[in-house]
Structure 1
């Protein structure tokens, strides 16, 4: 059994608070400028900007992000439970829903791969 480490817990909580603050800032920007882009996407762009400029090192938020990633299923349970309410819709339009999910997942993977490749090449060119 792991020993309860107060410093570790405090670090995880503070990192998650920073990530949540960035998300809320993104939401405020989206609402204030009336952008059709979700606040979470703007928050991720702000986080990417902070990483790219060196204001924040990715390792400083690694534990908090890791906790969120390991508990990601909790974020999807409400969406999965709604399938029970709309079973008839899923039976009639399920193939279209699966097609959209598949295409969007593929697009996210492709865009992520190209972004990682571009950032790696940029880092090599600028000797970061």
Structure 2
């Protein structure tokens, strides 16, 4: 079951890759694939439960997919010596920005949900 779910996710990525190459889209295939999958889920063509186990397995094993990229860095020691500090600064700053912006969005959405809940509660009291 999990293997077939992973195959469906891979098929969606292959379709997205084909669309990006064929129509020269300015966005990467992985993002196109996510948008395609989102459209399929929202239109109820694909159910989330159909892909849950495969996606969970892929997320659990994600570190395994990064190992070849990290090992390949060893081949670029000169680049790491010259640009390593800049790369680290960019990684740290971008991580901080992502965490801060995510926290800000979650806070705003939480406050919005509280506001809606209070409004609904007040309407129920009046009725």
TM-score by length of 1: 0.70
Structure 1 gap ranges (5+) = 1-10
The aligned runs of 1:1-128 (5 Å cut-off) are 11-105=1-95, 110=101, 114=105
Q: How many residues align?
A: 108
Structure 2 gap ranges (5+) = 117-127
TM-score by length of 2: 0.70
- Structure showing the higher helix proportion among its residues: 2
2:120 aligned residue: none
Once residues 97 and 37 of structure 2 are traced to their aligned partners in structure 1, the CA distance between those partners, rounded to angstroms, is 21
RMSD: 2.6
Cα gap change, 1:79 to 1:25, in 2 (>3 Å) = same
Task: Give 1 or 2 for the bigger CA radius of gyration.
Answer: 2
